[in-house]
């Protein structure tokens, strides 16, 4: 075809022959490269199954403990913090030293709570990061060392032991009006400061069904994940039970092991259809809107009434009392001025199918603030002009 067009061009306009061939060749070249670019763009908009789901039964567990931080430079709990004194006396008694709680000075000691997260498949000897938080009236935990303390799970069993020096993200210097403090000095961390003592790993060999739990429940996404898995295995091995759960039959999948099955499924890619939602935080004026939010034809009229009251004080001239010859005292007279400004109402109109960008641009054009936008969005939702879920925090 390219040769035929070149011949026709040469017959009528010989000088255009080379230009036509070059343009057509360039067009064909662009067409050849357009498909890979579009495919690459589609891949970048897709997400992995592992990013939007979790495996049921494979989860972290919260741990909590109580302990003492010692070695503080006079910034620990005060004498009236009873539980710190009792804990220190009990710790000394376990070491064979009997002391009277009333005679203990705890300004270099602080009572703390310990928190940590125990990952799935943790085994004895694994290390955990520990967060240490003061529960008394200590001023700072800077330079402190945590004594060995037990970390317990919800069932009351000890799963790890923690100990070590603290790392703080802040500091304090000076005192009173001359002092300066950066960040919190009563909360610190101990990187890898806890050692797991109990095996909590999950036995995957007994799983007959692998259940994927969606982090954001959605019927469409759950169905697409099940269909994608069935296409990958070329047979129906997965089914969506509801909006948040997809079950995979291990026997039908014929996988060599469950970890290989989970790894294969989690590596699949799909395009997620996010629901139309607007999240509003009235306390901070933060508004987060998805790009899929659509609006019906709607008009917004926004006006502003401002009242400014200013009071100034003037000193009157002293007066002379008759027949006495004495100067009177000066009198302070308040002068109040009231200024009322009623700005003209401004309006915007959005046509059918308007999106979030057009709404935000229109609201900015009439000079609305973030809190004004919150009220306007609530009014549009109440009127029925917004096809999206409005979440107010």
For the four alpha carbons of 320, 322, 326 and 330, in that order, the dihedral sign comes to: negative
- Given a cut of 60, whether residue 306 has pLDDT beyond it is no
Give the residue with greater pLDDT, 374 vs 57.
Answer: 57
* Residue 143 covered by a domain: yes
Residue at a domain's end among 196, 227, 253:
196
pLDDT digit string (tens) for 240-265? 999 999 999 999 998 889 999 999 99
Asked if residue 29 is part of any domain, the answer here is no
Instruction: Check whether residue 244 and residue 282 sit in a common domain.
Output: no
What are the distances in angstroms from CA 78 to CA 71, 136, 390?
15, 8, 49
For 265, counting Cβ atoms within 10 Å of its Cβ (0-12 exposed, 13-18 middle, 19+ buried), the class is buried
Rounded to an integer, the average pLDDT of 267-295 is 79
Q: What is the pLDDT of residue 23?
A: 40
- Spatial separation of the C-alpha atoms in residues 103 and 237, rounded to whole Å: 70
Residue whose token pair is 């009563």:
186
Q: What is the pLDDT of residue 343?
A: 62
The reported pLDDT for the residue numbered 2 is 41
Confidence class for position 38, pLDDT limits 50, 70, 90: very low
Its domain, for residue 102, covers 61-196
Residue 168 has pLDDT above 50, yes or no: yes
Does some domain include residue 14? Answer: no
Residue 48 lies in a domain: no
Flag whether pLDDT at 170 surpasses 80.
Answer: no
Q: Are residues 308 and 382 in the same domain?
A: yes
pLDDT of residue 223: 94
Q: Which of 233, 249, 270 lies at the terminal end of a domain, its last residue?
A: 270
Cα separation of 212 and 268, whole Å?
13
Same domain, 214 and 247: yes
Same domain flag for 263 and 295: no
Q: What is the mean pLDDT of residues 127-132?
A: 96
Residues 222 and 310 in one domain: no
77 versus 303: the higher-pLDDT residue is 77
- Per the domain annotation, does 28 fall within a domain? no
Q: How confident is the model at residue 191 (pLDDT cuts 50, 70, 90)?
A: very high
Average pLDDT over residues 64-83: 87
Res. 315 pLDDT band, cuts 50 70 90: low
| pLDDT average, residue stretch 38-57 | 75
Which of 125-129, 173-177, 316-320 has the largest mean confidence?
125-129
Using the predicted structure, report yes or no on whether residue 309 has a pLDDT greater than 60. Answer: no
Q: What is the pLDDT of residue 327?
A: 55
Looking at the structure, tell me whether residues 69 and 188 fall in a common domain.
yes
Question: For the chain, how many structural domains are there in total?
Answer: 3
Q: Determine what percent of the chain is predicted with pLDDT higher than 70.
A: 71
Look at residue 261 in the predicted model and tell me its pLDDT: 94
pLDDT at position 311: 57
- 209-234: b (≥16 Cβ within 10 Å) or e: ebbbbbeeebeebbebbbebbbeebe
Domain boundary (196, 218, 252) is at 196
Give the tens place of pLDDT for each residue, 84-104.
888 888 888 888 888 877 777
Please, which residues have CB within 8 angstroms of residue 344's CB and are 6 or more apart in sequence? 303
Task: Give 149-158 pLDDT, tens digit per residue.
Answer: 999 999 999 9
Residue 111 lies in a domain: yes
Q: Average model confidence (pLDDT) for the chain?
A: 78
93 with 187, same domain: the answer is yes
Residues 190 and 243 in one domain: no
281 with 253, same domain: the answer is: no
The span from the CA of 86 to the CA of 227, in Å, is 61
The answer to whether the CB of 184 falls within 8 A of the CB of 170 is yes
Give the residue among 352, 348, 342 at the shortest CA–CA distance from 368.
Answer: 348
At residue 314, φ and ψ (nearest 5 deg) are -120, 145
Confidence of residue 365 (pLDDT cuts 50, 70, 90): confident
Q: Are 281 and 377 contained in the same domain?
A: yes
| Residue 136 and residue 121 share a domain | yes
pLDDT at 46: 86
Q: Which of 35, 11, 9 is nearest to 23 (CA)?
A: 9
Domain assignment of residue 102, yes or no: yes
pLDDT at 178: 62
Whether residues 65 and 192 share a domain: the answer is yes
Helix (H) or strand (E) holding 25: helix 17-44
The pTM for the full model equals 0.65
pLDDT for the residue 135: 92
Mean pLDDT, residues 327-339 taken together? 64
* CA–CA separation, 352 and 387 (whole Å): 11
Q: Is there a domain that residue 20 lies in?
A: no
pLDDT for the residue 183: 72
Stretch among 32-46, 211-225, 318-332, 355-369 having the lowest mean pLDDT: 32-46
Q: Which residue has the higher pLDDT, 376 or 221?
A: 221
């Amino acid at each position: 075809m390219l040769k035929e067009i070149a011949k026709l061009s040469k017959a009528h306009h010989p000088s255009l022959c080379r230009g036509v061939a070059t343009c057509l060749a360039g067009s064909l070249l662009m067409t050849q490269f357009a498909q890979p670019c579009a495919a690459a763009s589609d891949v970048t908009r897709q997400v992995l199954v592992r990013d939007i789901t979790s495996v049921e039964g494979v989860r972290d567990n919260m741990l909590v403990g109580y302990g003492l931080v010692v070695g503080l430079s006079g910034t620990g709990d005060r004498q009236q913090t009873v539980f710190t004194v009792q804990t220190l006396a009990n710790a000394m008694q376990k070491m064979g030293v009997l002391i009277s709680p009333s005679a203990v000075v705890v300004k270099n000691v602080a009572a703390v709570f310990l928190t940590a997260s125990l990952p799935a498949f943790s085994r004895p000897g694994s290390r955990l990061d520990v967060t240490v938080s003061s529960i008394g009236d200590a001023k700072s935990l800077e330079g402190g060392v945590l004594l060995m303390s037990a970390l317990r799970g919800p069932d009351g069993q000890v799963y790890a032991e923690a100990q070590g020096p603290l790392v703080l993200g802040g500091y304090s210097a000076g005192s009173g009006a001359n002092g300066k403090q950066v960040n919190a000095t009563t909360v610190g961390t101990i990187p890898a400061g806890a050692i797991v003592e109990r095996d909590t790993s999950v036995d995957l060999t007994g799983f007959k069904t692998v259940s994927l739990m969606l982090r954001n429940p959605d019927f469409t996404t759950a169905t697409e994940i099940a269909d994608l898995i069935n296409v990958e295995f070329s047979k129906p091995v997965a089914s969506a039970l509801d909006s948040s759960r997809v079950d995979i039959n291990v026997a039908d999948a014929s996988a060599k092991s469950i970890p290989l099955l989970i790894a294969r499924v989690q590596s699949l890619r799909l395009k997620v259809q996010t629901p139309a939602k607007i999240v509003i935080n009235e306390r901070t004026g933060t508004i987060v809107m998805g790009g899929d939010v659509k609006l019906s034809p709607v008009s917004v009229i926004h006006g502003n009434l401002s009242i400014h009251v200013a009071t100034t004080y003037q000193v009157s001239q002293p007066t002379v009392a008759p027949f006495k010859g004495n100067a009177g005292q000066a009198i302070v007279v308040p002068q109040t001025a009231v200024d009322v400004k009623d700005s003209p109402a401004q309006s915007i109109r959005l046509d059918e199918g308007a999106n979030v960008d057009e709404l935000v641009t229109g609201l900015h054009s009439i000079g609305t603030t973030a809190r004004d936008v919150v009220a306007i969005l609530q009014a549009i939702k109440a009127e029925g002009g917004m096809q999206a879920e409005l979440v107010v925090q």
